[in-house]
Structure 1
Amino acid sequence: MNLKYRDFLIRDWKPDDRYAAANAIASILAEYGLGWEPKEADRDVVEVEKFYLEAGGEFWTIERQGKLVGTSAYYPVLRGEKAVEIRKMYLLPEARGQGLGGCLLKRLEGAIAARGFKTIWIETATVLKEATQLYERRGYQPETGVETLRCDRVYVKYL
């Protein structure tokens, strides 16, 4: 998959993205005072093939002029009928404020619906204010049952 949004390229994961994706996510987490956890919450970035591709999900990278500036992904979860969790939706500062987050969320929802999933879950942290505002604007409802230690919010949307 290759999608364009303005001067960004949204594309499928390639194994040689691993280092750049990990560095970008670690940098964004640090910006918000959150830690990079390669053996816990971020293990899925270290093992994208196992957690996403082999599990029936997708992991996308976002590039601008050949530089990885963001990620977004989802995989199936056992949280209701035909459920997925959107994960690793992160953008470096230079990719923010241009509508890219909304575009990514819309594209993810479309891909998820096209594959027959019915429920979307998202876990996040309150400090990620832009993310929580985006999810709430796009119809995600606060829910209970946070499963990731560094997160303190969970949202759900039924398709």
Structure 2
Amino acid sequence: MEDDAQVAQVIRAVLVEMGAPKVGTAYADEALDIMTATYAQDDRIYFVVDDGGKIIGGAGVAPLENNEGNICELQKMYFLPEARGKGLGAKMMDVCLRKAKSLGYDKCYLETLPYMIDATKLYAKSGFENLDGPLGDTGHYSCNVWMIKSL
């Protein structure tokens, strides 16, 4: 719980930096302010990158909302500028995907924005493929890039 405010601050700061809409993205998620409680179930997890007591990034997986099937969603993967360019995104992606598989998920889904170019490149390099439309109903209607990967 002590990390919740820092995690929310990181995610909102990155979204503002990227020029993302505050509505229809993770920025407005109620879960941002209660991340510990949100991910305190057996079918989900959230990881943070801590640099000397300061959270500089994070990512997690959870069941894809309003979807039939055994699909998780890569959620809230954001890194502050000082965390970028160090391979942390690739490491975090690997940790999340391995955990998703160990939790028994068959596929991992994500949503992003087209101008988050570095993130989209990382997702493609990690084996995610583009979809023509969204799966489930995450409430992130401003995100118009949808990707999926078999685990």
TM class, shorter-chain normalised? 0.7 to 0.9
* Residue 88 (structure 2) pairs with residue 100 (structure 1): yes
Give the structure 1 partner of residue 141 of structure 2.
149
Q: How many residue pairs end up in the alignment? A: 145
* TM-score, L = length of structure 1: 0.82
Q: Secondary structure at the match of 2:85?
A: coil
Task: Report the CA distance between 1:88 and its aligned residue.
Answer: 0.4
For 2:26 and 2:83, how far apart are their aligned partners in 1? 27
Q: Is the CA contact 1:26–1:35 (under 8 Å) kept in the aligned structure 2?
A: no
Give the structure 1 partner of residue 20 of structure 2.
34
Greater relative contact order, per chain length (Cα 8 Å cut-off, separation 6+) = 2
* TM-score, L = length of structure 2: 0.86
Once the two structures are superposed, residues 37-83 of structure 1 have per-residue CA deviations (whole angstroms, 9 ceiling, x without a partner) of: 59974222123245332372001111112111011011012545321
Q: Is the CA contact 1:51–1:75 (under 8 Å) kept in the aligned structure 2?
A: no
- Give the AA of the match of 1:158: S
- Identity over aligned residues, as a percent? 26
Q: Is the CA contact 1:84–1:119 (under 8 Å) kept in the aligned structure 2?
A: yes
- Give the AA of the match of 2:134: G
For 1:39 and 1:81, how far apart are their aligned partners in 2? 23
Extract unaligned runs of 5+ from structure 2.
Answer: none
Give the structure 1 partner of residue 45 of structure 2.
58
Task: Report the CA distance between 1:24 and its aligned residue.
Answer: 1.0
Q: Is the CA contact 1:80–1:119 (under 8 Å) kept in the aligned structure 2?
A: no
For 1:36 and 1:131, how far apart are their aligned partners in 2? 19
